[in-house]
Structure 1
Amino acid sequence: MIIRPITDQDLEALYQIAVESGPGFMSLPNDRDFLKRKIRRSVDSFTRAATEPGGESYLFVLEDSETGDVMGTTGIESSVGLRQPLYHFQHSRQTYRSRDLNISNHVEMLNLCSHYTGCTEICTLYLRPQYRQKDYAQQEQHRQYAGKLLSKVRFLFMAQHPERFAETVIAEMRGVSDEAGRSPFWDWMRQHFLDMDFATVTLLAGSGNSDFIAELMPRYPLHTHLLSPAAQSVIGEVHDKTRPALKLLQNEGFVHRGYVDPFDAGPTVEAKLTEIRSIAGSTPCRIELADDDQQLEQVSDSLIMLANTSVKRFRAGIADKALYHPADGVLEISHALAESLQLRQGESARFLQLPLSGTPAMDAVFAVPADKEQIHAR
């Protein structure tokens, strides 16, 4: 499996992902023309010599190295809300008191805002259903890490190029909706504010047409006790299929501070760029090609995710075997792995240690002696 920047040739695969993901996956609307523009914007962003976040969009795909099939996609928006406002509801609690009557009342409310303007957003994480199946993962053991690779690869890219991204990183999590694409939260909003079905409104928002939010959505505090019980129950909750992605981000240090999507009330989580665990725990290194791949023996407690340091020709993947020399900052890898990641002898790279399934998390930097030590990637 290899992560690489998306290209124009990936349009059909991206369209199929947009169809499969269904309503509510707003970053990939089911619209070929929009997706074509999204790909082109990403291609331009990867070739831009950016020194600060300026609205660039980086879209990656996960490719099956054996078949060339696109298994999934993941992305980063360097700074959101600059071209079009990024709206959220702030979910908060207000306390009303009467000293004379000695009475107090606590009221939860939703306030429309654009709190995260200028922040970096990680987005568009989707692993196609056929690659989530156990029979696929069992063909090669490292394939079970496809979802983690899609999620964490963004942090390796950001760790290597921090100047391209904002101090605060956010992720909008998909809210609760059923198989037919109906959202309990939006059902109530539709009845009282905007008579438009959930699929249409998310398509408009995902396509960048967000003016209607400010024009037609409630501008004043909306007391949540006025909502239906079904709508109230999903505020800040995630779609069942989004729970694994949320758990991964929580393990990275992302937290929810009360901001939710205006359509399905899914939570937005945030973290400081330098405090994201995979960024702080990633290790820069220099590549050395092994004379004999047999020397790259495996160990049983960890694996690594490895990426080159390029922008335009970025590649990342999970190695089968590697040998780290911490005293010299050298990572010894096979010729085959180097070729797949477009790495040459002496070039810089960055890796991240990952615990294997069922093992305790390891320290971010290896606690090993100065002589040769093995690290394992499955």
Structure 2
Amino acid sequence: MIIRPIQHQDMDALRAIARESGPGFTSLVDDPEFLRRKIALSIDSFARSPRAPEDEHYLFVLMDENSGRVMGTTAIEARAGQERPLFHFRHSPSAPGMADQPDRLTRCNHYTGCSEICSLYLRPDDRRPQAGKLLSKVRFLFMAQHPQRFADTVIAEMRGVSDEHGQSPFWNWLRAKAGNLDFATVTRLAGTGDTRLLDTLLPGGSLCTASMSEQARRVIGQVHERTRPALKMLTDEGFRYTGYVDLFDAGPTVEAPLTGIASVQGSEACRVQVVDDNVPAITRNRADHHNQALLLANSGVSDFRATITHEATWLPNHRLLSVPRSLAGKLKLETGSVARCLALAPTADQIQPRRHSPLPEARYAH
């Protein structure tokens, strides 16, 4: 599995992903012109050399290097709200014993200017060990390599609760106050950036949750069942929910300081030593990461490549990464190149025989 920037020839795969992900996945909408613009913006963003985050949007694909099949996507928006306001509801729960001050939802654009991680989707036929982890964590290595491209605060809008038919309990309550548009329509309008009608229809003041249906009230700040693995990965990285939810499905937005993200803190910049395949690395000691899973990324931008591998060895005492020649070619690395690596904790199936996994690899996240 190799991560690389999206290319024009990935259009058919991206549209298939947009169709598979369904209503509520607003960062990828099944609209050919919208997707072409997204690919073009991403290619242009990777080609820029900004000193500060602007309107760049970095869209990556996960590729099976043997078949060439696009397995999934993941993305970073450098500065959310740059082209259009990024609206949320601020959920303000009532204090205990304050019956005269009920829970309220207030529309706001609190997160304008933050960097946003988004568009994480792993196709159903491509679930395999480490794939979801690679899609999630690779963004943090790219950000650690190029911090000037991103804001100090990073957010993720998590997909809220909806059923297999694309029905959102929260929107089913709110739609009566917002022109009675169905959930698929409003998420499509939001995803393509056509928000003029929504800005007119959505309530501008506070909403009292006491007037909601029990089903709508119960899903405020909750995530889609298939998004739970992705939320778990982000909370492990240090992301926290502070009360801001999506306008349409009430899914939570989580946030973290860029420098406080665990994978940013834990990753190491290092020099590369390319060795012939099957040749051992230089003399090791107990501190060396040999046969451990490493998330490994080059330091490129338009030629960025990353993967999870057991083939490379991180030699911390030498601040050197020993990489077999075949893997180095896939990652566009040479002896003397700068790379970034992150040692990954063993998975459960590496610690003991795998019997049953209650949660599958993340199919889609946010």
For normalisation by structure 1, the TM-score amounts to 0.88
Question: 1:171 aligns to what?
Answer: 156
Question: 1:109 aligns to what?
Answer: 104
The change in CA–CA distance for 1:318 and 1:96 in structure 2 (over 3 A counts) is closer
Please tell me whether the aligned partners of residues 301 and 356 of structure 1 are also in contact (alpha carbons under 8 angstroms).
no
Alignment of 1:1-378 (within 5 A): 1-94=1-94, 105-132=100-127, 137=128, 144-291=129-276, 293-295=278-280, 302-358=292-348
Q: For residue 200 of structure 1, report the CA deviation from its aligned partner.
A: 0.6
Max radius of gyration: which structure?
Answer: 1
User: SS of the counterpart of 1:349?
Assistant: strand
Please tell me whether the aligned partners of residues 116 and 156 of structure 2 are also in contact (alpha carbons under 8 angstroms).
yes
Q: For residue 318 of structure 1, report the CA deviation from its aligned partner.
A: 1.4
- Corresponding letter in the other structure for 2:112: T
Please tell me whether the aligned partners of residues 85 and 210 of structure 1 are also in contact (alpha carbons under 8 angstroms).
no
Q: What does the per-residue CA deviation read over 1:316-367, in whole Å, with 9 as the maximum and x for residues that have no partner?
A: 0112322222232110110011000001111100001101112999xxxxxx
RMSD of the alignment, in Å? Answer: 2.0
Percent identity over paired residues: 53
Paired residues, number:
346
The change in CA–CA distance for 1:78 and 1:15 in structure 2 (over 3 A counts) is same
Q: For residue 293 of structure 1, report the CA deviation from its aligned partner.
A: 2.1
Q: For residue 291 of structure 1, report the CA deviation from its aligned partner.
A: 4.1
- Say which structure, 1 or 2, has more relative contact order (CA 8 Å, 6+ apart): 2
Q: What does the per-residue CA deviation read over 1:184-232, in whole Å, with 9 as the maximum and x for residues that have no partner?
A: 1001111233210100100000001123333221111111011111110
d(CA) in 2 for partners of 1:149 and 1:96? 42
- Corresponding letter in the other structure for 2:16: Q
d(CA) in 1 for partners of 2:322 and 2:49? 30
Please tell me whether the aligned partners of residues 291 and 311 of structure 2 are also in contact (alpha carbons under 8 angstroms).
no
d(CA) in 2 for partners of 1:323 and 1:3? 20
Q: Which runs of 5+ in 1 are unaligned?
A: 98-102, 138-143, 362-378
d(CA) in 1 for partners of 2:94 and 2:199? 23
The change in CA–CA distance for 1:289 and 1:232 in structure 2 (over 3 A counts) is same
User: SS of the counterpart of 1:293?
Assistant: coil
User: SS of the counterpart of 2:229?
Assistant: helix
The change in CA–CA distance for 1:96 and 1:105 in structure 2 (over 3 A counts) is farther
d(CA) in 2 for partners of 1:300 and 1:263? 47
The change in CA–CA distance for 1:301 and 1:325 in structure 2 (over 3 A counts) is closer
Q: What does the per-residue CA deviation read over 1:87-114, in whole Å, with 9 as the maximum and x for residues that have no partner?
A: 10000134599xxxxx863411000000
d(CA) in 2 for partners of 1:302 and 1:325? 12
User: SS of the counterpart of 1:153?
Assistant: helix
Q: For residue 55 of structure 1, report the CA deviation from its aligned partner.
A: 1.2
- Corresponding letter in the other structure for 2:122: L
Question: 2:359 aligns to what?
Answer: none
- Corresponding letter in the other structure for 1:79: R
Please tell me whether the aligned partners of residues 301 and 355 of structure 1 are also in contact (alpha carbons under 8 angstroms).
no
Q: What does the per-residue CA deviation read over 1:69-128, in whole Å, with 9 as the maximum and x for residues that have no partner?
A: 00000000000111111110000134599xxxxx86341100000000000000000000
For normalisation by structure 2, the TM-score amounts to 0.91
